[in-house]
Structure 1
Amino acid sequence: MTARRYDTTRRQAAAQERRTRVAEVAAALFAERGWVGTTVAAVAAEAGVSTELVTKAFDGKPGLFMAAFRQASFGGSTDLPGVFAELRLEDEPDLDVRLDRLVDFACASLVPMAPLVPVMTAGAEHDADLRRLVRAAELGHAETAREVVRLLAPGPVGDDVVDEVYVLTLAETYLAFVQQRGWSTERYAAWLRRSLRAVLDSG
Protein backbone atom coordinates (compact mmCIF):
# COMPACT_ATOMS: atom_id res chain seq x y z
CA MET A 1 0.00 0.00 0.00
CA THR A 2 2.75 2.45 0.92
CA ALA A 3 4.68 1.72 -2.27
CA ARG A 4 1.50 2.17 -4.34
CA ARG A 5 0.80 5.56 -2.76
CA TYR A 6 4.39 6.58 -3.36
CA ASP A 7 4.19 5.54 -7.02
CA THR A 8 0.99 7.53 -7.45
CA THR A 9 2.58 10.62 -5.95
CA ARG A 10 5.62 10.19 -8.15
CA ARG A 11 3.49 9.79 -11.28
CA GLN A 12 1.51 12.90 -10.39
CA ALA A 13 4.72 14.87 -9.88
CA ALA A 14 6.09 13.65 -13.20
CA ALA A 15 2.85 14.60 -14.95
CA GLN A 16 3.00 18.09 -13.45
CA GLU A 17 6.61 18.46 -14.55
CA ARG A 18 5.58 17.54 -18.10
CA ARG A 19 2.75 20.08 -18.03
CA THR A 20 5.12 22.78 -16.84
CA ARG A 21 7.65 21.88 -19.52
CA VAL A 22 4.99 21.95 -22.25
CA ALA A 23 3.65 25.30 -21.02
CA GLU A 24 7.17 26.79 -21.01
CA VAL A 25 7.85 25.55 -24.53
CA ALA A 26 4.47 26.82 -25.71
CA ALA A 27 5.13 30.27 -24.23
CA ALA A 28 8.42 30.51 -26.14
CA LEU A 29 6.93 29.30 -29.42
CA PHE A 30 3.82 31.48 -29.24
CA ALA A 31 6.01 34.52 -28.55
CA GLU A 32 8.30 33.66 -31.47
CA ARG A 33 5.81 32.40 -34.07
CA GLY A 34 2.48 33.95 -33.10
CA TRP A 35 -0.94 32.33 -32.87
CA VAL A 36 -1.18 31.04 -36.43
CA GLY A 37 2.44 29.92 -36.65
CA THR A 38 2.33 27.86 -33.45
CA THR A 39 0.70 24.44 -33.61
CA VAL A 40 -0.01 21.88 -30.92
CA ALA A 41 2.12 19.42 -32.85
CA ALA A 42 5.08 21.81 -32.91
CA VAL A 43 4.85 22.40 -29.17
CA ALA A 44 4.60 18.66 -28.52
CA ALA A 45 7.64 17.94 -30.68
CA GLU A 46 9.72 20.66 -29.03
CA ALA A 47 8.69 19.45 -25.56
CA GLY A 48 9.39 15.81 -26.41
CA VAL A 49 5.85 14.54 -25.82
CA SER A 50 3.02 13.32 -28.02
CA THR A 51 0.50 15.63 -29.69
CA GLU A 52 -2.25 13.54 -28.13
CA LEU A 53 -0.87 14.15 -24.64
CA VAL A 54 -0.78 17.93 -25.18
CA THR A 55 -4.29 17.99 -26.65
CA LYS A 56 -5.69 15.93 -23.78
CA ALA A 57 -3.81 17.75 -21.02
CA PHE A 58 -4.64 21.27 -22.20
CA ASP A 59 -7.92 20.72 -24.06
CA GLY A 60 -6.62 22.00 -27.37
CA LYS A 61 -4.75 25.05 -28.60
CA PRO A 62 -6.73 27.73 -26.67
CA GLY A 63 -6.17 25.94 -23.37
CA LEU A 64 -2.51 25.42 -24.25
CA PHE A 65 -2.08 29.13 -24.93
CA MET A 66 -3.69 30.16 -21.65
CA ALA A 67 -1.48 27.68 -19.78
CA ALA A 68 1.54 29.20 -21.52
CA PHE A 69 0.31 32.69 -20.65
CA ARG A 70 -0.11 31.78 -16.98
CA GLN A 71 3.24 30.01 -16.90
CA ALA A 72 4.97 33.09 -18.27
CA SER A 73 3.27 35.54 -15.94
CA PHE A 74 2.21 33.74 -12.75
CA GLY A 75 4.37 30.63 -12.69
CA GLY A 76 1.57 28.48 -14.06
CA SER A 77 -1.02 29.28 -11.41
CA THR A 78 -4.65 29.36 -12.54
CA ASP A 79 -5.60 31.31 -9.43
CA LEU A 80 -4.73 34.99 -9.93
CA PRO A 81 -6.53 36.04 -6.72
CA GLY A 82 -4.54 33.40 -4.87
CA VAL A 83 -1.26 34.61 -6.34
CA PHE A 84 -2.21 38.17 -5.45
CA ALA A 85 -3.11 37.09 -1.91
CA GLU A 86 0.42 35.74 -1.48
CA LEU A 87 1.62 39.36 -1.41
CA ARG A 88 0.01 39.51 2.06
CA LEU A 89 -0.88 43.17 1.64
CA GLU A 90 -3.43 43.02 4.45
CA ASP A 91 -0.64 42.13 6.87
CA GLU A 92 1.36 45.26 6.01
CA PRO A 93 0.24 48.42 7.87
CA ASP A 94 2.27 50.85 5.73
CA LEU A 95 0.36 51.88 2.58
CA ASP A 96 3.56 52.87 0.78
CA VAL A 97 5.07 49.44 1.38
CA ARG A 98 1.87 47.85 0.11
CA LEU A 99 2.10 49.94 -3.04
CA ASP A 100 5.74 49.00 -3.55
CA ARG A 101 4.85 45.31 -3.29
CA LEU A 102 2.04 45.72 -5.79
CA VAL A 103 4.20 47.55 -8.34
CA ASP A 104 6.96 44.93 -8.00
CA PHE A 105 4.38 42.18 -8.52
CA ALA A 106 2.90 43.92 -11.56
CA CYS A 107 6.28 44.38 -13.23
CA ALA A 108 7.43 40.84 -12.46
CA SER A 109 4.25 39.56 -14.15
CA LEU A 110 4.13 41.99 -17.07
CA VAL A 111 7.71 41.62 -18.31
CA PRO A 112 7.43 37.92 -19.30
CA MET A 113 3.73 38.24 -20.17
CA ALA A 114 4.12 41.14 -22.62
CA PRO A 115 5.30 39.21 -25.72
CA LEU A 116 2.21 36.99 -25.50
CA VAL A 117 -0.38 39.78 -25.35
CA PRO A 118 -0.44 40.52 -29.11
CA VAL A 119 -0.59 36.76 -29.73
CA MET A 120 -3.62 36.51 -27.46
CA THR A 121 -5.34 39.38 -29.26
CA ALA A 122 -4.71 37.81 -32.66
CA GLY A 123 -5.75 34.37 -31.50
CA ALA A 124 -9.00 35.63 -29.99
CA GLU A 125 -9.98 36.96 -33.41
CA HIS A 126 -9.71 33.45 -34.85
CA ASP A 127 -10.90 31.22 -32.02
CA ALA A 128 -14.14 31.46 -30.03
CA ASP A 129 -12.81 29.25 -27.24
CA LEU A 130 -9.83 31.56 -26.74
CA ARG A 131 -12.17 34.57 -26.74
CA ARG A 132 -14.07 33.00 -23.84
CA LEU A 133 -10.85 32.30 -21.95
CA VAL A 134 -9.65 35.85 -22.55
CA ARG A 135 -12.94 37.20 -21.25
CA ALA A 136 -12.54 35.12 -18.10
CA ALA A 137 -9.02 36.52 -17.70
CA GLU A 138 -10.38 40.06 -18.07
CA LEU A 139 -12.92 39.41 -15.32
CA GLY A 140 -10.14 38.08 -13.11
CA HIS A 141 -8.12 41.23 -13.73
CA ALA A 142 -11.14 43.34 -12.79
CA GLU A 143 -11.50 41.44 -9.51
CA THR A 144 -7.83 42.06 -8.78
CA ALA A 145 -8.28 45.78 -9.51
CA ARG A 146 -11.12 45.89 -6.98
CA GLU A 147 -8.93 44.16 -4.43
CA VAL A 148 -6.11 46.65 -5.07
CA VAL A 149 -8.48 49.53 -4.38
CA ARG A 150 -9.77 47.88 -1.22
CA LEU A 151 -6.27 47.28 0.12
CA LEU A 152 -4.50 50.46 -0.99
CA ALA A 153 -7.00 53.29 -1.03
CA PRO A 154 -6.54 55.41 2.13
CA GLY A 155 -10.26 56.18 2.29
CA PRO A 156 -13.58 55.85 0.41
CA VAL A 157 -13.26 56.08 -3.37
CA GLY A 158 -15.55 56.83 -6.29
CA ASP A 159 -16.87 54.29 -8.75
CA ASP A 160 -14.33 55.16 -11.44
CA VAL A 161 -11.27 54.31 -9.36
CA VAL A 162 -11.49 50.54 -9.93
CA ASP A 163 -11.68 51.08 -13.69
CA GLU A 164 -8.70 53.45 -13.59
CA VAL A 165 -6.62 50.89 -11.66
CA TYR A 166 -7.76 48.24 -14.15
CA VAL A 167 -6.44 50.29 -17.09
CA LEU A 168 -3.23 51.37 -15.35
CA THR A 169 -2.27 47.75 -14.70
CA LEU A 170 -3.19 46.31 -18.11
CA ALA A 171 -0.46 44.55 -20.07
CA GLU A 172 -1.45 46.71 -23.04
CA THR A 173 -0.61 49.84 -21.03
CA TYR A 174 2.80 48.41 -20.18
CA LEU A 175 3.40 47.58 -23.85
CA ALA A 176 2.43 51.09 -24.96
CA PHE A 177 5.14 52.59 -22.77
CA VAL A 178 7.87 49.98 -23.12
CA GLN A 179 7.51 48.77 -26.71
CA GLN A 180 5.93 51.78 -28.41
CA ARG A 181 7.55 54.61 -26.47
CA GLY A 182 10.83 52.93 -25.58
CA TRP A 183 10.58 53.20 -21.79
CA SER A 184 12.61 50.97 -19.52
CA THR A 185 10.78 48.72 -17.10
CA GLU A 186 12.19 50.84 -14.25
CA ARG A 187 10.72 54.01 -15.75
CA TYR A 188 7.37 52.28 -16.22
CA ALA A 189 7.44 51.05 -12.61
CA ALA A 190 8.06 54.57 -11.32
CA TRP A 191 5.19 55.89 -13.48
CA LEU A 192 2.86 53.12 -12.35
CA ARG A 193 3.58 53.84 -8.71
CA ARG A 194 2.96 57.57 -9.13
CA SER A 195 -0.20 56.99 -11.14
CA LEU A 196 -1.68 54.44 -8.75
CA ARG A 197 -0.91 56.64 -5.77
CA ALA A 198 -2.59 59.65 -7.45
CA VAL A 199 -5.69 57.67 -8.43
CA LEU A 200 -6.06 55.98 -5.05
CA ASP A 201 -5.52 59.21 -3.13
CA SER A 202 -7.99 61.14 -5.28
CA GLY A 203 -10.90 58.96 -4.18
Structure 2
Amino acid sequence: MEEKDVPARRAYDASGRRAAAEQRRLHVAEVAARLFAEHGWNGTTLALVAEEAGVSVELLTKTFGSKAGLFMAAFRTLGFGHRGGLQSAFADLRLADEPDLDARLDRFVEFVTATVVRMGPLVWVLGHGAEQDPVLRELVRGAHQGHAVMCAEVVHLLAAGEAAPDAVDEVYLLTRSETYLTLAQHRGWTPERYAAWLRRSLRTAIDGPPAGR
Protein backbone atom coordinates (compact mmCIF):
# COMPACT_ATOMS: atom_id res chain seq x y z
CA MET A 1 0.00 0.00 0.00
CA GLU A 2 1.37 3.37 -1.00
CA GLU A 3 2.06 5.68 1.90
CA LYS A 4 0.54 9.11 1.73
CA ASP A 5 2.38 12.17 2.84
CA VAL A 6 1.12 13.25 6.23
CA PRO A 7 1.49 16.95 7.00
CA ALA A 8 3.92 17.49 9.84
CA ARG A 9 2.25 18.60 13.03
CA ARG A 10 3.14 22.17 13.82
CA ALA A 11 5.04 22.49 17.06
CA TYR A 12 3.09 24.28 19.77
CA ASP A 13 4.39 27.79 20.32
CA ALA A 14 3.80 28.89 23.90
CA SER A 15 5.65 32.18 23.56
CA GLY A 16 2.45 34.13 22.87
CA ARG A 17 0.74 32.70 25.92
CA ARG A 18 3.78 33.46 28.10
CA ALA A 19 3.90 37.04 26.80
CA ALA A 20 0.19 37.52 27.51
CA ALA A 21 0.62 36.13 31.02
CA GLU A 22 3.55 38.46 31.68
CA GLN A 23 1.57 41.45 30.43
CA ARG A 24 -1.31 40.49 32.71
CA ARG A 25 1.08 40.10 35.64
CA LEU A 26 2.58 43.53 34.96
CA HIS A 27 -0.88 45.08 34.72
CA VAL A 28 -1.96 43.56 38.02
CA ALA A 29 1.23 44.73 39.73
CA GLU A 30 0.70 48.28 38.46
CA VAL A 31 -2.89 48.30 39.69
CA ALA A 32 -1.78 46.92 43.05
CA ALA A 33 0.92 49.60 43.37
CA ARG A 34 -1.68 52.32 42.90
CA LEU A 35 -4.08 50.77 45.38
CA PHE A 36 -1.44 50.16 48.06
CA ALA A 37 -0.32 53.78 47.72
CA GLU A 38 -3.92 55.01 48.05
CA HIS A 39 -5.26 52.66 50.73
CA GLY A 40 -2.22 51.41 52.61
CA TRP A 41 -1.43 47.87 53.69
CA ASN A 42 -4.61 47.17 55.66
CA GLY A 43 -6.93 48.91 53.23
CA THR A 44 -5.72 47.00 50.18
CA THR A 45 -7.17 43.51 49.91
CA LEU A 46 -6.71 40.82 47.30
CA ALA A 47 -10.39 41.18 46.45
CA LEU A 48 -10.00 44.90 45.81
CA VAL A 49 -6.96 44.39 43.59
CA ALA A 50 -8.70 41.59 41.68
CA GLU A 51 -11.76 43.73 41.08
CA GLU A 52 -9.75 46.77 39.92
CA ALA A 53 -7.46 44.68 37.71
CA GLY A 54 -10.29 42.63 36.20
CA VAL A 55 -8.95 39.26 37.33
CA SER A 56 -9.94 36.66 39.92
CA VAL A 57 -8.60 36.34 43.45
CA GLU A 58 -7.60 32.78 42.51
CA LEU A 59 -5.38 34.11 39.76
CA LEU A 60 -3.74 36.52 42.20
CA THR A 61 -2.90 33.79 44.68
CA LYS A 62 -1.70 31.48 41.91
CA THR A 63 0.52 34.18 40.41
CA PHE A 64 1.82 36.00 43.50
CA GLY A 65 1.27 33.49 46.28
CA SER A 66 0.02 35.91 48.94
CA LYS A 67 -0.73 39.52 49.68
CA ALA A 68 2.93 39.94 50.64
CA GLY A 69 4.08 38.51 47.32
CA LEU A 70 1.68 40.78 45.47
CA PHE A 71 2.96 43.82 47.36
CA MET A 72 6.60 43.04 46.60
CA ALA A 73 5.74 42.56 42.93
CA ALA A 74 3.98 45.93 42.98
CA PHE A 75 6.92 47.55 44.79
CA ARG A 76 9.44 46.21 42.28
CA THR A 77 7.26 47.12 39.32
CA LEU A 78 6.88 50.67 40.60
CA GLY A 79 10.64 50.99 40.98
CA PHE A 80 11.97 48.98 38.05
CA GLY A 81 9.09 48.50 35.62
CA HIS A 82 9.30 45.46 33.38
CA ARG A 83 12.92 44.82 34.33
CA GLY A 84 12.00 42.81 37.40
CA GLY A 85 13.91 43.30 40.64
CA LEU A 86 16.92 45.28 41.73
CA GLN A 87 19.54 42.84 40.53
CA SER A 88 18.27 42.62 36.97
CA ALA A 89 17.68 46.38 36.76
CA PHE A 90 21.19 47.05 38.05
CA ALA A 91 22.65 44.55 35.58
CA ASP A 92 20.91 46.43 32.76
CA LEU A 93 23.09 49.46 33.56
CA ARG A 94 26.14 47.52 32.30
CA LEU A 95 28.47 49.67 34.38
CA ALA A 96 31.39 47.33 33.80
CA ASP A 97 31.17 48.06 30.06
CA GLU A 98 31.69 51.80 30.62
CA PRO A 99 35.43 52.62 30.72
CA ASP A 100 35.02 56.13 32.11
CA LEU A 101 34.72 56.19 35.92
CA ASP A 102 32.78 59.47 36.05
CA ALA A 103 30.34 58.21 33.44
CA ARG A 104 29.77 55.08 35.55
CA LEU A 105 29.05 57.25 38.56
CA ASP A 106 26.65 59.47 36.61
CA ARG A 107 24.78 56.45 35.27
CA PHE A 108 24.44 54.93 38.73
CA VAL A 109 23.28 58.19 40.32
CA GLU A 110 20.62 58.61 37.64
CA PHE A 111 19.46 55.03 38.23
CA VAL A 112 19.23 55.42 42.00
CA THR A 113 17.50 58.79 41.86
CA ALA A 114 14.83 57.59 39.44
CA THR A 115 14.26 54.44 41.50
CA VAL A 116 13.88 56.04 44.93
CA VAL A 117 11.58 58.74 43.57
CA ARG A 118 9.27 56.15 41.99
CA MET A 119 9.29 53.90 45.05
CA GLY A 120 8.53 56.74 47.45
CA PRO A 121 4.73 56.30 47.58
CA LEU A 122 5.04 52.70 48.80
CA VAL A 123 7.89 52.96 51.31
CA TRP A 124 5.60 53.76 54.25
CA VAL A 125 3.27 50.92 53.24
CA LEU A 126 6.22 48.54 53.18
CA GLY A 127 7.10 49.43 56.77
CA HIS A 128 3.54 49.01 58.03
CA GLY A 129 3.07 45.73 56.19
CA ALA A 130 6.35 44.24 57.40
CA GLU A 131 5.34 44.96 61.00
CA GLN A 132 2.17 42.91 60.57
CA ASP A 133 2.96 40.21 58.03
CA PRO A 134 5.79 37.73 58.70
CA VAL A 135 5.90 36.68 55.05
CA LEU A 136 6.44 40.27 53.92
CA ARG A 137 9.01 40.71 56.67
CA GLU A 138 11.05 37.82 55.25
CA LEU A 139 10.69 39.14 51.71
CA VAL A 140 11.91 42.54 52.86
CA ARG A 141 14.89 40.95 54.62
CA GLY A 142 15.81 39.25 51.37
CA ALA A 143 15.45 42.53 49.48
CA HIS A 144 17.79 44.23 51.95
CA GLN A 145 20.36 41.51 51.42
CA GLY A 146 20.11 41.97 47.66
CA HIS A 147 20.59 45.72 48.11
CA ALA A 148 23.76 45.08 50.13
CA VAL A 149 25.11 42.78 47.42
CA MET A 150 24.51 45.50 44.83
CA CYS A 151 26.30 48.07 47.00
CA ALA A 152 29.37 45.84 47.25
CA GLU A 153 29.47 45.56 43.47
CA VAL A 154 29.00 49.33 43.10
CA VAL A 155 31.97 49.99 45.37
CA HIS A 156 34.08 47.64 43.28
CA LEU A 157 33.00 49.33 40.03
CA LEU A 158 33.27 52.94 41.19
CA ALA A 159 36.37 52.93 43.39
CA ALA A 160 39.24 54.95 41.95
CA GLY A 161 41.69 52.95 44.06
CA GLU A 162 41.37 51.07 47.32
CA ALA A 163 37.88 51.62 48.70
CA ALA A 164 37.31 53.22 52.10
CA PRO A 165 36.73 50.75 54.97
CA ASP A 166 33.01 51.46 55.43
CA ALA A 167 32.26 52.11 51.76
CA VAL A 168 29.68 49.37 51.28
CA ASP A 169 27.67 50.32 54.36
CA GLU A 170 27.75 54.02 53.50
CA VAL A 171 26.62 53.38 49.92
CA TYR A 172 23.84 51.19 51.32
CA LEU A 173 22.62 54.06 53.52
CA LEU A 174 22.95 56.69 50.80
CA THR A 175 20.91 54.70 48.29
CA ARG A 176 17.98 53.69 50.52
CA SER A 177 14.58 55.06 49.59
CA GLU A 178 14.14 56.19 53.19
CA THR A 179 17.17 58.45 52.88
CA TYR A 180 15.71 60.23 49.88
CA LEU A 181 12.30 60.53 51.51
CA THR A 182 13.77 62.04 54.67
CA LEU A 183 15.48 64.75 52.66
CA ALA A 184 12.52 65.31 50.34
CA GLN A 185 9.73 65.34 52.93
CA HIS A 186 11.54 66.85 55.91
CA ARG A 187 13.93 69.22 54.18
CA GLY A 188 12.15 69.97 50.92
CA TRP A 189 14.84 68.58 48.64
CA THR A 190 14.09 68.11 44.96
CA PRO A 191 15.22 65.00 43.07
CA GLU A 192 17.84 67.17 41.33
CA ARG A 193 19.31 68.32 44.62
CA TYR A 194 19.31 64.76 45.94
CA ALA A 195 21.10 63.54 42.81
CA ALA A 196 23.83 66.19 43.12
CA TRP A 197 24.30 65.38 46.81
CA LEU A 198 24.29 61.65 46.12
CA ARG A 199 27.02 61.99 43.53
CA ARG A 200 29.28 63.93 45.91
CA SER A 201 28.50 61.64 48.81
CA LEU A 202 29.10 58.43 46.87
CA ARG A 203 32.51 59.61 45.74
CA THR A 204 33.51 60.47 49.31
CA ALA A 205 32.02 57.29 50.74
CA ILE A 206 33.84 55.05 48.27
CA ASP A 207 37.22 56.77 48.00
CA GLY A 208 37.34 58.50 51.38
CA PRO A 209 37.71 62.27 51.97
CA PRO A 210 40.19 64.20 49.83
CA ALA A 211 43.77 64.20 51.07
CA GLY A 212 44.46 66.85 53.69
CA ARG A 213 41.01 66.72 55.31
| Alignment check: 8 A CA contact 2:162 2:207 kept | no
Task: Decide whether the 8 Å contact of 1:67 with 1:76 is kept in 2.
Answer: no
Match of 1:155 in 2: 161
Distance 1:65 1:111 in 2: 18
CA deviation vs aligned residue, 1:123-179 (integer Å, no higher than 9, x gap): 000000000000000000000110110000111123311000000000000100112
Kindly indicate whether the alpha-carbon contact (under 8 Å) linking 2:98 and 2:104 is maintained by their aligned counterparts in 1: yes
Give the aligned partner of residue 27 of structure 2: 21
In the other structure, the counterpart of 1:198 is 204
Aligned residue pair count: 201
Q: 1:18 corresponds to which letter in structure 2?
A: R
Cα pair 1:68 1:76 within 8 Å, conserved: no
- The answer on 1:54 being equivalent to 2:60 is yes
Q: Specify whether residues 128 and 84 from structure 1 end up closer, same or farther in structure 2 by C-alpha distance, changes over 3 A only.
A: same
Q: When the two structures are superposed, what TM-score results if normalisation uses the length of structure 2?
A: 0.90
Query: How far 1:108 sits from its partner (Å)?
Result: 1.4
Q: Which amino acid aligns with 2:164?
A: G
Question: Matched residue of 1:11: which SS?
Answer: helix
Identical-residue share of aligned pairs (%): 60
Question: Can you give the 5+ residue segments of structure 2 that lack an aligned partner in the other structure?
Answer: 1-8
The answer as to 2:17 corresponding to 1:2 is no
* 1:75 matched residue in structure 2: 81
- Amino acid of the structure 2 residue aligned with 1:34: G
Partner of 2:164, secondary structure, is coil
- Residue 166 of structure 1, aligned match among 169, 172, 178: 172
| Secondary structure of 1:75's aligned partner | helix
Say which one has the larger Rg: 2
1:28 is aligned with what amino acid?
A: R
The 5-angstrom pairing of residues 13-162 of structure 1 reads 13-162=19-168
Shift of residue 2, structure 1, vs aligned partner: 3.1
The answer (yes or no) to whether the contact 1:26–1:64 under 8 Å persists in 2 is yes
Secondary structure in 2 aligned to 1:157? coil
Q: Unpaired runs of 5+ in structure 1? A: none
Provide the alpha-carbon RMSD of the alignment. 1.3
State the one-letter code of the partner of 1:46: E
